Structure 1
Amino acid sequence: MRYSQPGGSVAVISVKDVVLRFGDEALFDGITLHIEEGDRLCLLGRNGTGKSTLLKLMAGLLEPDSGLVARSRDRVIGLLGQEIDEGFTGTCLEFCLSSEEVPDQGKEPGSPSGISSESEVESRRFLTQLGVNPEAEYRTLSGGGRRRAMTARILAKKPDILLLDEPTNHLDINSVLWLEEYLRKQVPTLILITHDRAFAKTVATRVAEIDRGQLFSFDCGYDEFLSRKQALLETEEQQRAKFDKRLAAEEAWLRRGVKARRTRDEGRVRALMAMRERYRLRRNRIGQVSMKAQEAEVSGDLVAELTAVSFAYSEQGSGETPVIENLSTTIMRGDRVGIVGPNGCGKTTLIQLILGKLKPDTGSIRLGTNLRPLYFDQMRSLINPEKTLLENLSGGDDSVVVGGRSRHINAYLQDFLFDPDRAKSPVNILSGGEQNRLMLAKLFTQPSNLLVLDEPTNDLDMETLDLLEDLLSEYQGTILLVSHDREFLDNIVTDCLVFTPDSTVEEYVGGYSDWRAQYKADDPGENAARTKEKKSPGDTRPRDRKTKRSYKEQQELASLPETIAALEQEIHQLHQVMADPEFYRREGDEVAQATARLETLQADLERRYDRWQFLEERGGD
């Protein structure tokens, strides 16, 4: 069904007066939100306020305790949730062609059989674009790989309404840029949860925020939302101050004694009782995260010196995979270094080499004196999900030493927005963002002069992200940072180490945007490609002004799926050959030729995909 709003416009999803409770307190206390065709809405709120739950309500996976959630029957909804699909067996392509389970869509669950060639081409394109091999077995992928396959699947279905919960997690920067552009140009109606501020600024045209059980909608982009939100909070504070002053005056009046028999006094007492109830039900905004890194004595001037470092992984059945080739660089005290590159290129490997967790195959790494490193890794290895928050932070004690002084564990938990009642709750019931906050809480109990952060922004709400950024900006030690968050990199780092396709690592001065500007200036091919891209039909022009395909182009479009399939088959066969350890014992020329052939095929495949998309967007006769 569709829900008509008072102004006459039609909403494709409507949430009206919805109440949902988990425990004693309402997660949603009568929230209302209408999504119209063409909206691109970014849903904000602190971790634990119910953003993911609201997406599930919209998709029909949950029902409210009261209120109405109405969805247009003639619109297909696609949901990318945070839960990883664990049970599928088959290739990533088969996974991508299978049906996700969103109820009330009027469609039977699908299977790979009987799938059109266009669906297969689309699925392959999205998987490849997100760094997933279509022929790889889904069950062999890491959690991040499965997440990327899930993203490819939901995009390939091309639903009318797309619900995305943290879609940039586990993507590298190039994939984030591609997804950003795709959503902006190709997805008609979108509801998005993201911690990536640059992503939100580019994609979203509306913002809604969940705060203390209420939902506030803003018909503006992210930047304007920030100023409007601040004004609302200031107004709320002023109104509450006036209310509190009036309540105190009425309480004082009551204490002086009241002749309750008088009708006028009876009414005033009833009004005071109502004010007391209103005050009791007030949900105060929880204070901000209070983070402070404990800094150790300064390190020596030199932090790390890498000289001609090379490293390759050698795994059974797959030969050697070069990761880093002949890297020489020096990191000095106070440097803030961003490490940038696609997924799987070796960013985490470089960190582990610098920290001494891995040894280089060739070359040398010299570390400076008096180093006190702290390492935030993506696997959250510092915290045990089976133990409680209390056990993780203090080993079960009621206090923790922070900055040389003892603090009660409840007070320290509140610094990171954890209710003291949750101190004895297991970590595995926390959301991803809450687990990252706990990881930061544990890290900052220890003094350091070198912070090594591997994707610390994943799942954090934007407010916590801003505060982490402030903390790192004031940190006096050295920072090594891996992140796909462009704005975070720009605001923190002063130098970038960038991985290239040939396993070399190049140095650039400045943040992410500075690197991109230098990279484009140094690469005429990049500039030419971008100039050509800007002139492509359909890039910036309205749809109704696109040129139609010629007969020759129609024939070319019809043949492209077969051509693409043949290229991918040859690439797959080459991968199998090169995965055999015996392959690398052959003559050097043969290995070089196979490697060059693989690079040529992959470049050709990318061109064919680009051509296919161009012809599709061009339109038929």
Structure 2
Amino acid sequence: MANLVNLESVSKSYGERMLLDGVSLGVGEGERIGVVGLNGGGKTTLLEVLAGLAPPDSGRVSRVRDLRMRVVTQRTALPEGSTVRDVVLAEYAAEHEWAADARVRSIVDGLGISAIGLETPTATLSGGERRRVSLAAALVAELDLVVLDEPTNHLDVEGVRWLAEHLLARRISLVVVTHDRWFLDTVCGRTWEVVGGKVEQYEGGYADWVYARAERARLAATAEEKRQNLARKELAWLQRGAKARTSKPRYRIEAAESLISDVPPPRDSVELLTFAKRRLGKTVLELEDVTLGTGERTLLDDVTWRIGPGDRIGLVGVNGSGKTTLLRLLAGESEPETGRRIEGKTVRLAHLRQELDDLPGDLRVLQAVEAVAGRVTLGKQELSASQLAEKLGFPPARQWTPVDDLSGGERRRLQLVRLLMAEPNVLLLDEPTNDLDIDTLQQLEDLLDSWPGTLVVVSHDRYLVERVCDTVVALLGDGKITHLPGGIDEYLTRRAEAPLAPKPVGPQGDLGGGSDGGNGKVSAAEWRAVTKELARLERRLDVVHEKEAKLHEALAAAATEPERLMELNTELKTVLAEKDELEQKWLETSEAVE
């Protein structure tokens, strides 16, 4: 498989900080690669160097001739005086040309470009709309490689699913920086972790990356015990809380189960509910006979909704459905047209908004946190201001950075730290995952696991909602708040069945395809053949894995027999080579059924 882009011994620094240090890697044809790492660790820099937006300080970047590549960064500069049509459909002279292309129609509808309006001047667009327009403009082109930096930040749950299905159906090469773990697991076949100036490479998506990190930490017995425990806890949730991934080799599942066998459930719901009732009493937040509108639209029509002590609620809906408006109403920042909002006497409410609140720029990070409180108790954990800041991504050295010098993601984290330091018992979180890296997200989820309060979360991050929430409700555009016992899966099913909703892609699905290799359809016969081949490969992997285990036992027993050791070692290398080949075949075959 030929590489489309190669990096050879590439280094890149900003000031005294080395972000890439002698990195060598490549992007192959058809590869889908997720890039993860801490905020400020070099993920965006890696993308910019790979895409040619920034030159390396040393080393070489090479690309195949006539590479068709598009890049969508977080900087959304659109041409002055342009309309949405000018940007997205610039290559089409007439309406019928793009309207006749099913792939382009799917992009225009799937990313909400039709709802924005093709004749809308780009100068009037919000930041999220500009990002969606830039993404659509990239995807309508015929491509070999697309490079995306946080593409899910301004998409709702449905939009994230559409983008995943579109990229899988296109079968183009992809390099994407994202903290959306469902997206990583669904789309990406490889993961790059940018850490300490290096890029660690892993096979598989998010779940495989979590497993590999936990296993590496366990085998090496490193001093990073906190990270290991957190990774194992995340694995416990992946296995117990999410639907089993039956397309994994059995030996991988068994290894993961062995690794997490002694890990307790992520949270004790009964204990937290009891604690919450003692802290909050019976009444927390209630809406009675509320009607709420925005402009000419009615978001809530005579709705009564009672949120009790210890409730952990995920709120979903398409962009523009009114989720943020509803949170502001719950927070008491706005008034309903009719009806009333009731707040319990013991409620201490905190609201994390999408907008960055004013932060004290004249202070340093730790000072800004200690200005709220010196210590905080979150469930059974008592933490100092410095300890909480460190948990949410500010190591001791970084805690003395002036607030004005922080990046956007770091300012978002500081806002969250200050909010938690106030020890609220009711949390309203509006897209808390935006600009947070995966390690910080895991730490936030770990804190919320033991937090005994009432929680309402608006997020497009399915992992976060399914991890920290017990209930999912939706705004479906009918003026009601709809409870969804089946969670986000039920929401997506309802949306797919609604009029004009985009149809999901599956074994028999079709995204309309372009000239990039077909229309996404798989016949029943092909489907059976692929699943049969997967089963054969998994049986063979089981045999090879058992042989490998026996060889390791034999090597241990032959520790004092040099000749026998050499013979066994040669046999082990042969087995490992066969195992690698089988796993590669399994990964390639499994792409046909994902």
TM-score using structure 2 length: 0.70
Is residue 175 from structure 1 mapped to residue 159 from structure 2 by the alignment? yes
Q: 1:303 aligned to 279, 284, 303, which one?
A: 284
- In the alignment, residue 27 of structure 2 is paired with which amino acid? I
Asked if the contact 2:315–2:472 (Cα under 8 Å) also holds between the matched residues in 1, the reply is yes
The aligned amino acid for 1:136 is T
C-alpha displacement of 1:300: 2.2
Q: Cα distance, 1:411 vs. partner?
A: 5.9
Which runs of no fewer than 5 residues in structure 2 stay unpaired? 226-271, 523-594
Within 1, Cα distance between the matches of 2:312 and 2:223?
A: 43
Looking at structure 1, the residues matched to 473 and 405 of structure 2 have their Cα atoms a distance apart, in angstroms, of 36
Q: CA deviation at 1:429?
A: 4.5
1:312 partner letter: G
Distance in 2 between residues matched to 1:374 and 1:95, nearest whole Å: 40
Structure 1 pair 510/335, CA: closer, same or farther in 2 (3 Å)?
farther
- Percent sequence identity is 32
**Residue 228 (1) aligns with residue 220 (2):** no
SS of equivalent to 1:436: helix
Which of 140, 143, 164 is the aligned partner of 2:124? 140
Query: Is residue 118 of structure 1 aligned with residue 97 of structure 2?
Result: yes
Question: 1:42-80: CA deviations, max 9, x gaps?
Answer: 111111110111110011111111111111121122111
Q: Give 1:301 deviation, angstroms.
A: 1.3
Take 2:137 and 2:423, find their aligned partners in 1: how far apart are those partners? 44
Residue of structure 2 in register with 1:322 after alignment: 298
| Aligned residue runs from structure 1 range 219-298, under 5 A | 219-237=203-221, 298=279
Instruction: Tell whether the 8 Å contact from 1:490 to 1:513 is kept in structure 2 after alignment.
Output: no
Which secondary structure does the structure 1 equivalent of 2:53 belong to? Answer: coil
Query: 1:484 — aligned with what?
Result: 460
| Root-mean-square deviation (Å) | 3.8
Q: 1:384 to 1:82 in 2, by over 3 A?
A: farther
Where do 1:32-111 residues align within 5 Å?
32-85=24-77, 88-97=80-89
Which of 9, 18, 28 is 1:26 aligned to? 18
Deviations 1:218-257 (A, max 9, x none): 233332222222233345555999xxxxxxxxxxxxxxxx
Match of 1:130 in 2: 111
Asked whether the 8 Å contact 2:375–2:385 carries over to 1, the reply is no
Q: Does 1:193 align with 2:180?
A: no
AA in 2 matched with 1:534? Q
Cα deviation, residue 33, structure 1: 0.8
Length, aligned pairs only: 465
Aligned with residue 432 of structure 2, among 456, 476, 489: 456
Mapping of 1:480-559 within 5 angstroms? 480-509=456-485, 511-513=487-489, 515-516=491-492, 519=494, 534=508, 536=510, 543=518
Question: Is the contact between residue 345 and residue 503 of structure 1 (CA under 8 Å) also seen in structure 2?
Answer: no
CA distance in 1 between partners of 2:330 and 2:224 (Å): 53
- Residues 221 and 413 (structure 1), Cα distance of their counterparts in 2 relative to 1, 3 Å cut: closer
Could you list the per-position Cα deviations for residues 261-306 of structure 1 after superposition, in whole angstroms to 9, with x for gaps in the alignment? Answer: xxxxxxxxxxxxxxxxxxxxxxxxxxxxxxxx99998122121222
Change (3 A) 1:373 1:546: closer
Q: How far apart are 1:90 and its partner, in Å?
A: 2.6
Look at both structures and tell me which one has the larger radius of gyration over its CA atoms.
1
User: 1:260 — aligned with what?
Assistant: none
> What is the CA–CA distance in structure 1 between the aligned matches of 2:187 and 2:30, rounded to whole Å?
12
Deviation (angstroms), 1:392: 3.8
198 and 211 in structure 1: CA distance in 2 versus 1, 3 angstrom threshold: same
**Is the contact between residue 296 and residue 448 of structure 1 (CA under 8 Å) also seen in structure 2?**
no
Residues 499 and 296 of structure 1: is their aligned pair in 2 closer, same or farther, counting only changes over 3 Å?
A: closer
Counterparts of 1:416-455 in structure 2 under 5 Å?
Answer: 416-423=392-399, 425-427=401-403, 429-455=405-431
Partner of 1:335: 311
Cα distance in 2 between the residues matched to 1:56 and 1:308:
52
| Matched residue type, 1:160 | D
Aligned to 1:613: none
In structure 1, stretches of 5+ residues that fail to align are 1-8, 99-111, 242-292, 315-319, 548-621
Over 3 Å counting, the alpha-carbon distance change for 1:406 and 1:329 in structure 2 is closer
3-state SS in 2 of match to 1:330: strand
Q: Following TM superposition, by how much is the alpha carbon of 1:389 offset from its aligned partner in structure 2, in angstroms? A: 3.1
Deviations 1:187-228 (A, max 9, x none): 411001111111111100111111111111123333222222
CA gap of 1:382–1:144, structure 2 versus 1, over 3 A, is: same
Helix, strand or coil: the match of 1:34? strand
1:401–1:407 contact (8 Å) kept in structure 2: yes
Deviates more, 1:383-392 or 1:456-465: 383-392
Match for 2:43: what amino acid? K
Alignment match, 2:192: 208
What TM-score, normalized by structure 1, do the two folds share?
Answer: 0.67
User: Structure 2: how far apart are the matches of 1:41 and 1:361?
Assistant: 48
1:313-338 deviation digits (Å, cap 9, x = unpaired): 24xxxxx2322222222111111111
Q: Distance in 2 between the 1:202 and 1:239 partners? A: 32
Structure 1 residues 400, 23: closer, same or farther in 2, change over 3 A? farther
In structure 1, how many angstroms separate the alpha carbons of the residues matched to 2:403 and 2:328?
A: 26
**Structure 1 residues 216 and 328: CA distance shift in structure 2, 3 A:** same
